[in-house]
Amino acid sequence: MDTALIETRLRGLMIAALDGDAAAYRTLLAELSRHLRPYFTRRLTPAFAAHAEDLVQETLLAIHTRRMTYDRTRPFTALLHAVVHHKFVDHVRRQSIRLTVPLEDDAPIFAHDDSADALAKRDLNVVLDTIPARTGDLIRRTKIDGASIAEAAAAHGMTETAAKVSIHRGLKALATRFAGGPK
Amino acid sequence: MTDDLIRRLADDLKPVRPRALQRLLLGALLLSGIVAVVTMLMLLGMRPDMETATTTMVYWTKFGYTLALALLGLAATLVLARPDGRTRWPWLTAIGLLGALLILAVIQLARADDMMPLIMGSSILRALTYIPLLSLPVLFGALLALRRLAPRNPALAGFAAGIMAGGTGAWVYAFACAETGMMFLALWYTLGIVMVGMIGTGLGRFLLRW
């Protein structure tokens, strides 16, 4: 269905709901939840896909309790997008706080395994060995150790531009090789 | 589960009148404005020279500048209370007004023999105490109303409510303030209003989350 049609339809339902039509309101909320569920699922990483349902409910609840903020002269989808964006950003922000600062009493101390990091590092070395040594070292310095391009270039006695080009080519070669082609 | 929620929300549905948001915020402003006026009358009383004062330009500049800032704050609050609310013209207009006021103030200073009383007056501390104090009921009322709304940016909506409250508080205070310097108005009234704006920003960040 094209967006102008959706807009007309949803707006009609919303205005009827604001005037007290519960049946129109039920139709509106049901339709919104059908659209919102896949929307949130697609935007969450698979680990958090289960949160999509919570987000759908939070969004419906926000639209309900704050339906006064809908201006009848403006598109309903504009309000919907704003609410959805707000709820999504809020959710992600809260999640990332919970992820980086685990405050639970039974926080699993042994969950983080450095040997996995070592494995990842070894894989990285294997991958970087497939491109010319100097390019690999430039990438390692700038992208992994966090050196600036100027520092990495100086270490190899090259100009900054040459280093940039070299890094770019190296990453492109890696992308072609491991990610199924340049993005 | 979501179906349950939808059923409950639909059962809970009460009609919302057109322009309900405007009614809510205006109602909050009027009610809290009355509280501010009563507080001013009880704590300070009208300035004693009211009759001669109303014939001067300074009096009406004070009246107009503070009222204009209050209304610009209201205009911004009405827009910023919505999830998709963005606005810039109230801020630009407010800055323009301050610029115009500063020009008037400099003209007044250039004509005066003694500049200091027109700049520093004799009641800076009084103004900077009572403007925020008389603004508090309005700020409180506006934040209470905004908590039922959905500001896209809570801190910014708090700031707008603060400017509205500060402007109203300053407008009310102006009836009790006998200062005659335009520069006094431009500096200290503006500072008092911006202070309330800052309080609104800080409170909004926490109270207006949704």
List chain A residues with CB under 8 Å of B6: 26, 29-30, 33, 60
List chain A residues with CB under 8 Å of B21: 68-69, 71
List chain B residues with CB under 8 Å of A97: none
Angstrom distances, CA of residue A101 to CA of A94, A97, A98: 11, 6, 5
Interface A:B, Cβ pairs < 8 A? 79
pLDDT tens digits along B156-173: 999 999 999 999 999 999
pLDDT tens digits along A12-54: 999 999 998 999 999 999 999 888 888 888 888 777 778 888 8
Structural domain A3-100, CATH architecture: Orthogonal Bundle (1.10)
CB-nearest to B13 from A22, A53, A86 is A22
Q: Is B1 on the interface with A (CB under 8 A)?
A: yes
For the record, the structure tokens of A7 come out as: 């807009």
Q: Is B210 on the interface with A (CB under 8 A)?
A: yes
Which residues are within 8 A (CB) of B22 and not within 5 positions of it... i.e. 6 or more apart?
B78
CA B133/CA B191 separation, integer angstroms: 14
Give the model's pLDDT for residue B155: 96
The torsion defined by the Cα of B91, B88, B159 and B45, in degrees rounded to 10, comes to: 40
Chain A residue closest to B148 (CA)?
A: A66
Which residues are within 8 A (CB) of B112 and not within 5 positions of it... i.e. 6 or more apart?
B118
pLDDT tens digits along B93-146: 999 999 999 999 999 999 988 888 899 888 999 999 999 999 999 999 999 999
CA A161/CA A159 separation, integer angstroms: 5
The Cβ of residue A160 has, within 10 Å, a number of other Cβ atoms equal to 14
List chain B residues with CB under 8 Å of A72: 18
pLDDT tens digits along B22-38: 999 999 999 999 999 99
The residue extents of the domains of chain A are 3-100, 113-178
**Cβ within 8 Å, pair A68-B148:** yes
Cβ B195 vs Cβ B167: under 8 Å:
no
Give the model's pLDDT for residue B193: 97
Burial-class residue A4 by CB neighbours within 10 Å (0-12, 13-18, 19+).
Answer: exposed
**Cβ within 8 Å, pair A79-B84:** yes
CA B193/CA B73 separation, integer angstroms: 11
Give the model's pLDDT for residue A145: 75
CB-nearest to B149 from A68, A79, A86 is A68
**Cβ within 8 Å, pair B210-A82:** no
Interface test with A, best of B1, B5, B6 (most A CBs within 10 A): B6
**Cβ within 8 Å, pair B6-A67:** no
What is the band of A115 on the pLDDT scale with cuts at 50, 70, 90? low
The torsion defined by the Cα of A94, A95, A98 and A100, in degrees rounded to 10, comes to: -110
CB-nearest to B83 from A19, A65, A83 is A83
ipTM of the modeled complex: 0.84
- Burial B39-58, CB ≥16 within 10 A → b, else e: bbeeebeeeeeeeebeeeeb
Which residues are within 8 A (CB) of B203 and not within 5 positions of it... i.e. 6 or more apart?
B139, B143, B158
List chain A residues with CB under 8 Å of B15: 18-20
The torsion defined by the Cα of B177, B179, B185 and B188, in degrees rounded to 10, comes to: -80
Angstrom distances, CA of residue B71 to CA of A5, B27, B88, B94, B186: 38, 14, 14, 10, 17
pTM for this predicted structure: 0.75
CB-nearest to A30 from B6, B13, B81 is B6
CATH fold, domain A113-178, is Arc Repressor Mutant, subunit A (1.10.10)
What is the band of A103 on the pLDDT scale with cuts at 50, 70, 90? very low
CA B166/CA B77 separation, integer angstroms: 13
Q: Is B6 on the interface with A (CB under 8 A)?
A: yes
Give the model's pLDDT for residue A177: 80
List chain B residues with CB under 8 Å of A71: 21, 82
